[in-house]
């Protein structure tokens, strides 16, 4: 009598191939996210922040018209707001792209 594999033999091999394919797709998506440049601007573009998908700030542009030595706090607040906004964009894009691959499963450490 032929002996069957404990987990269905061929089905296990097929499942492993599917897992490997999903891992590859997730790695590719993560790399694409990391290479993407995200930009956030506030108050009509007076402060603009660019970051990559690794959440590294690439550039900060400030319209010289808003630089007021008497109100540095306002400029600081706008920079903080723009940085937080661009990081939120990165996280939302990563969550959307990775969620599409995982079917909405929350895999710890992925994003």
Q: Note the pLDDT tens digit of each residue in 21-48.
A: 888 998 999 999 999 999 999 999 999 9
Kindly indicate the confidence band of residue 7, based on its pLDDT and cuts at 50, 70 and 90.
Answer: low
Residues 51, 60: contact at Cβ < 8 Å? no
- In angstroms and rounded to an integer, the radius of gyration of the C-alpha atoms of the chain is 22
Residues 51, 37: contact at Cβ < 8 Å? yes
Backbone angles phi, psi at 58, to 5 degrees: -95, -35
- Output the pLDDT for position 98: 84
Q: Alpha helices of the chain — where are they, by DSSP H?
A: 10-35, 72-102
Residues 89, 69: contact at Cβ < 8 Å? no
């Amino acid at each position: 009598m032929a002996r069957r594999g404990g987990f269905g033999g061929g089905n296990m091999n097929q499942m492993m191939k599917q897992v490997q394919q999903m891992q590859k797709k997730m790695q590719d998506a993560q790399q694409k996210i990391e290479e993407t440049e995200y930009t956030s601007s506030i108050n009509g573009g007076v402060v603009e922040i660019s970051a990559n998908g690794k959440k590294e700030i690439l550039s900060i542009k400030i319209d010289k018209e808003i630089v007021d030595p008497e109100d540095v706090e306002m400029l600081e607040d706008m920079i903080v707001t723009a940085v937080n906004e661009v990081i939120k964009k990165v996280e939302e894009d990563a969550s959307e792209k990775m969620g599409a691959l995982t079917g909405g499963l929350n895999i710890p450490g992925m994003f």
